[in-house]
Structure 1
């Protein structure tokens, strides 16, 4: 039986050290994946991640960490279980508190920054 390849490309390595220029437009230009997540840098105990998204992520939660989303380009929908859907347009942000089951989706290519505690499991807690 063959293993199904995940549609998510998650790079948890830190791409840029302190005192290095972070070049988001170049990363976006080079990206060919529909759901791409790359840790850009670490700031104290948190990391800044770049998401280049098209499609739908699975329902998940983070038991210990809050998660911040900030849309650079496009439109991101954050579905909150048993509640609402939040729409983030360009230059809008939103915090999903720890323990809240959520799912993100982007019907068209969308570029977001995520800020979360270093060590967070991007796919969520079981």
Structure 2
């Protein structure tokens, strides 16, 4: 599934190599898109992504990969079929592979994500 079909700014290119300093506040300040996602670096067989988000993502799932979300600032909601996960700064949550979910942010929110290198950010559905 192509990320071009969605109204998100999703950059899956690796922005920083091992050994480089990553200035997260500078990246946050330089971005104005309401749903921005940038791969920062690779760590073993995973990537670390920065999200600067506000609004709703679509319902989706990842058949073969878990997703880890860590809230740096703001408020991050994850709708699941049977409950709502409500995260604030310093809190994190793992969405298990195959679980249908919809991320939302009622205000500008900064998150870090850890995912498998080959994950398709928009999901399998």
TM above 0.5, yes or no, is yes
Shift of 1:6: 3.1
Q: 2: distance between equivalents of 1:68 and 1:76? A: 13
Specify the alignment match of 2:85 in structure 1. 86
Query: What TM-score do you get using the length of structure 1 for normalisation?
Result: 0.94
1:49 aligns with 2:49: yes
RMSD: 1.2
1:63-119 CA deviation, whole Å, 9 max, x = no partner?
0000000000000000002x1000010010000000000000001100000000001
Specify the alignment match of 2:7 in structure 1. 7
Q: 1: distance between equivalents of 2:117 and 2:26? A: 24
Specify the alignment match of 2:24 in structure 1. 24
- How is 1:100-119 mapped onto 2 (pairs within 5 angstroms)? 100-119=99-118
Shift of 1:32: 1.0
Specify the alignment match of 1:120 in structure 2. 119
In the alignment of these two chains, the number of paired residues is 122
Extract unaligned runs of 5+ from structure 1. none
Specify the alignment match of 1:99 in structure 2. 98
Q: 2: distance between equivalents of 1:6 and 1:63? A: 19
* Structure of greater Rg: 1
Divergent runs of 4+, >6 A: none
Secondary structure at the residue paired with 2:94?
A: strand
